[in-house]
């Protein structure tokens, strides 16, 4: 999909898988709200004011104020945070209180584990991150399951220390002076001690702007731009006759020479029989007069082709050479997939690709559609059964629905004639009505509308 339809693939961080390496670019194109940047600007002015008193929260001698904010899930690294805080307490006698903000399914279990470990780690529930702008100095984010952690960007924008693991998802933040990455427990303890005993570096206007949506938009535009020369070179490379993909498969048989020889002999015998069949079929086609000559020539040409493959090499290290550009290959595969899975016959493939619930869901939708149609038929039948349906009522209903409601509308007259079967005849005229003169009228003409 990426090769076939994209000129550039922009990834927020290096944690994402490779889609099209020749088109990929890692760039943070995410920003933060103006509220966080305003808090950081105000803190910078406060910390850089001459002869300013030490700040009770951000000062070097301030009471430690550490927090974590995020979804309360074990996958967010909450267990790792507990182990790191416990290690800091045991190894460096660094006992700190960590306020936990956020909700999630693992909140209660995490609170119980923190209590069992003897950690001062109260769980407060969800809050807006901007409300913590002036209450805490150090933000710890132990998660390595993020693509790009938004709360880290928000904390840096507010001028806080951020202690986080050295991970591809955090590469963009490593440039900020208040970002303190660690690779092991010892570095975590050192970074935490430094953050608690120092005043954060005031966030400069350049760093502040780097976290804004304006700068993120500029990075996005720069990363997504493709020069004409680059586009032409890419087009030529992908559409050339030599373009292709080598797919090296694992050996079909490894470490068993007897089995390899047996399988190779079976392949050769099967290929010889198949070639004999193709040869006989080609001779039969050449003798027939049913097919057009051009069609016969095409079929015979295809049947005369031979697949010459070194079976021994194929069994030991098979290699598939696809003589297509990556873009064309992806497009053909997508077209093949769409052609196979369209319609009800694709339920099997949808179940394989998306789980058993996909097939059940499609069946449920079809059942509901069928039930809705049946209910509609039943309602129509009930309506007909509870209302007297006469020729007059049907005509009235049709005329009200289809004819204009004004004086120029054609009139409909219901006329009865003296006949043995008392037959009703309808005549549509411009005004009034008429009947054959040879028959005596039983009723006067009366317009129905």
Pair 90, 179 in one domain: yes
**Tokens 């933040």 -> residue:** 173
Pair 73, 204 in one domain: yes
Looking at the domain assignment, is residue 13 inside a domain? no
Pair 260, 152 in one domain: no
Looking at the domain assignment, is residue 314 inside a domain? no
**Residue range(s) defining the domain that contains residue 372:** 351-379
Termini Cα distance of the chain: 63
The pLDDT value given to residue 280: 79
User: What SS3 state is found at 70?
Assistant: coil
Looking at the domain assignment, is residue 134 inside a domain? yes
Pair 59, 162 in one domain: yes
The encoded tokens of residue 218 equal: 């500029």
Pair 55, 202 in one domain: yes
The pLDDT value given to residue 379: 61
Looking at the domain assignment, is residue 336 inside a domain? no
Q: Give Cβ neighbours of residue 281 (< 8 Å, ≥ 6 apart).
A: 303
- In this structure, what CATH number is given to the domain that contains residue 177? 3.40.50.2000
Total domains in the chain come to 4
Pairing between β-strand 9-11 and β-strand 245-248 as defined by DSSP bridges: unpaired
- Which phi-psi region, left, alpha or beta, contains residue 144 (left: φ > 0; alpha: ψ -120 to 50)? alpha
Pair 367, 433 in one domain: no
The pLDDT value given to residue 153: 95
* Closest CA relative to residue 98, chosen from 194, 163, 149: 163
Which of 177, 193, 210 is a domain's end point?
A: 210
Evaluate whether 266 touches 274 at the Cβ level (below 8 Å): no
The pLDDT value given to residue 295: 76
Pair 58, 151 in one domain: yes
**Tokens 């550009």 -> residue:** 325
Alpha helices in 48-169 (DSSP H): 78-92, 107-116, 150-157
Pair 190, 70 in one domain: yes
Pair 417, 372 in one domain: no
Looking at the domain assignment, is residue 322 inside a domain? no
Pair 55, 187 in one domain: yes
Looking at the domain assignment, is residue 220 inside a domain? no
Looking at the domain assignment, is residue 424 inside a domain? yes
Pair 73, 143 in one domain: yes
The pLDDT value given to residue 321: 55
Q: How many CB atoms lie within 10 A of CB 283?
A: 11
Pair 286, 433 in one domain: no
Alpha carbons 69 and 149: distance in angstroms, whole number: 11
Q: What is the pLDDT along the chain (449 residues), one digit of tens a residue?
A: 666 677 788 898 888 888 777 788 889 999 999 999 999 999 999 988 887 788 889 988 888 899 999 999 999 999 999 999 999 999 999 999 999 999 999 999 999 999 999 999 999 989 999 999 999 999 999 999 889 999 999 999 999 999 999 999 999 999 999 999 999 999 999 999 999 999 999 999 999 999 999 999 999 988 888 777 777 776 776 666 555 555 555 665 566 677 777 777 777 777 777 777 777 777 877 887 777 787 778 777 776 665 555 656 656 655 555 555 556 666 666 676 666 656 555 655 555 555 555 556 667 777 888 888 887 776 666 555 555 556 666 667 666 666 655 554 444 444 444 444 444 444 444 344 444 444 444 444 444 43
The pLDDT value given to residue 445: 40
The pLDDT value given to residue 314: 59
Buried b (16+ CB within 10 A) or exposed e, 244-255: eeeeeeeeeeee
The pLDDT value given to residue 421: 44
Evaluate whether 12 touches 28 at the Cβ level (below 8 Å): yes
Burial (CB count within 10 angstroms: exposed 0-12, middle 13-18, buried 19+), residue 112? exposed
The encoded tokens of residue 35 equal: 């509220």
User: What SS3 state is found at 419?
Assistant: coil
Looking at the domain assignment, is residue 280 inside a domain? yes
DSSP element (H, E) containing 161: strand 161-165
The pLDDT value given to residue 308: 58
**Tokens 């608690």 -> residue:** 196
């Amino acid at each position: 999909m990426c090769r076939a339809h994209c000129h550039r693939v922009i990834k927020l961080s290096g944690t994402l898988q490779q889609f099209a390496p020749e088109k990929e670019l890692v760039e943070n194109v995410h920003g933060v709200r103006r509220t966080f940047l305003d808090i950081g600007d105000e803190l910078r002015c406060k910390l850089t004011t001459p002869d300013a008193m030490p700040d009770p929260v951000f000062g070097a001698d301030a009471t430690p104020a550490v927090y974590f904010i995020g979804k309360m899930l074990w996958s967010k690294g909450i267990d790792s945070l507990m182990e790191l805080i416990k290690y800091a307490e045991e190894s460096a006698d660094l006992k700190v209180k960590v306020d936990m903000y956020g909700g999630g399914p693992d909140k209660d279990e995490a609170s119980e584990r923190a209590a069992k470990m003897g950690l001062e780690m109260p769980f407060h529930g969800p809050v807006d991150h901007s409300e913590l702008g002036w209450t805490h100095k150090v933000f710890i984010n132990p998660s390595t399951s993020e693509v790009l952690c938004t709360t880290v960007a928000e904390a840096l924008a507010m001028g806080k220390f951020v202690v986080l693991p050295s991970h591809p998802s955090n590469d963009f933040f490593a440039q900020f002076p208040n970002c303190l990455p660690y690779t092991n427990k010892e570095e975590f303890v050192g970074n935490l001690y430094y953050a608690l005993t120092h005043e954060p570096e005031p966030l400069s206007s350049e760093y502040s702007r780097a976290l804004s949506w304006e700068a993120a938009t500029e990075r996005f535009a720069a990363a997504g731009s493709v020069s004409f020369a680059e586009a032409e070179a890419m087009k030529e490379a992908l559409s050339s006759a030599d373009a292709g993909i080598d797919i090296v498969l694992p050996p079909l048989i490894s470490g068993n020479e007897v089995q390899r020889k047996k399988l190779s002999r079976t392949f050769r015998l099967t290929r010889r029989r198949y070639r004999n069949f193709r040869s006989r079929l080609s001779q039969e086609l050449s003798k027939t007069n049913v097919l057009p000559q051009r069609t016969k020539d095409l079929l015979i040409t295809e049947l005369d082709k031979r697949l010459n493959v070194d079976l021994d090499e194929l069994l030991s290290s098979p290699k598939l050479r696809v003589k297509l550009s990556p873009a064309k290959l992806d497009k053909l595969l997508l077209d093949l997939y769409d052609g196979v899975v369209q319609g009800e016959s694709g339920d099997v493939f949808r179940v394989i690709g998306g789980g058993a619930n996909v097939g059940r869901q499609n069946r449920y939708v079809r059942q509901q559609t069928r039930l809705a149609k049946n209910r509609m038929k039943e309602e129509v039948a009930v309506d007909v059964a509870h209302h007297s349906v006469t020729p007059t009522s049907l005509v009235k209903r049709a005329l009200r629905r289809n004819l204009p409601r004004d004086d120029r509308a054609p009139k409909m007259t219901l006329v009865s004639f003296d006949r043995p079967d008392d037959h009703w005849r309808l005549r549509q005229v411009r005004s009034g009505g008429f009947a054959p003169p040879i028959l005596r009228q039983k009723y006067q003409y009366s317009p129905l509308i």
